């Protein structure tokens, strides 16, 4: 795990001893200021979101990439890239592409901080990620471009209920839950002679 310590500057300039103060008192005050500066640097860093600070590219609505490393967003499940949903007027649209675009919009060009909580069976880190003060996992669910992955976590159920009430994202019309979509297509793939079709986004 890595974390970056931001630049630190004493706001009040350099320490200037007052006239008439003893050398012992001056040295004591200087030592105290040094300890305070060290504490601010140390605890200020701990206050930042724990985990790896990275610049990433977006794979889909719930996966990102840092170089060769793939990271799955914890507790959420977004439509697959090839998945289609229907909007409020019943028109089909590529909700997997829309979910990826939403995640790209949340991250933008920012550096994000990810806290790894697990490793999945495909060797990917499973993580909560944050861009500034924005918790990305929760926001994807709140905007309706991912659902709470309740088989693994109940953490984002409230955000999903908010999205459903507001008819945001995929909730504007009808859609198949990503987990069900994967299962259906895996079963179809097994029935195709000579075809190995599978999705590894469980």
Distance from C-alpha of 146 to C-alpha of 102, rounded to nearest angstrom: 10
Report the Cα 49 to chain-centroid distance in Å: 11
Q: Into which CATH architecture does domain 52-189 fall?
A: Beta Barrel (2.40)
pLDDT at 96 over 60: yes
CB 166 within 8 A of CB 144: yes
Per-domain residue ranges of the chain? 14-47, 52-189
In this prediction, residues 182-193 reach a mean pLDDT of 71
Query: How many other CB atoms are there within 10 angstroms of residue 159's CB atom?
Result: 23
pLDDT in tens, 107-150: 988 889 999 999 999 999 999 999 989 999 999 999 999 999 98
The three-class DSSP label of residue 184 is helix
Greater confidence, 202 or 140? Answer: 140
pLDDT in tens, 41-54: 444 433 334 455 56
pLDDT at 17 over 70: no
pLDDT in tens, 22-38: 666 667 666 666 664 55
């Amino acid at each position: 795990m890595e974390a970056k310590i931001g630049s630190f500057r004493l706001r009040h300039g350099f320490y200037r001893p007052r006239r008439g103060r003893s050398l012992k008192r001056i040295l004591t005050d200087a030592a105290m200021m040094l300890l305070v500066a060290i504490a601010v640097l140390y605890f200020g860093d701990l206050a930042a979101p724990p985990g790896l600070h990275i610049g990433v590219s977006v794979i889909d609505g719930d996966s990102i990439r840092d170089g060769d490393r793939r990271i799955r967003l914890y507790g959420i499940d977004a439509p697959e890239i090839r998945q289609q949903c229907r909007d409020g007027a019943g028109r089909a649209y590529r909700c997997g592409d829309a979910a990826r675009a939403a995640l790209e919009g949340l991250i933008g060009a920012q550096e994000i901080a990810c806290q790894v909580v697990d490793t999945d069976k495909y060797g990917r880190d499973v993580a909560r990620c944050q861009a500034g003060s924005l918790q990305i996992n929760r926001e994807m669910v709140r905007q309706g471009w991912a659902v709470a992955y309740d088989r693994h976590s109940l953490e984002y159920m409230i955000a999903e209920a908010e999205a459903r009430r507001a008819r945001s994202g995929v909730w504007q019309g009808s859609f198949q839950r990503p987990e069900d979509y994967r299962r259906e297509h895996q079963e179809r793939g097994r029935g195709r002679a000579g075809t190995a079709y599978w999705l590894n986004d469980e």
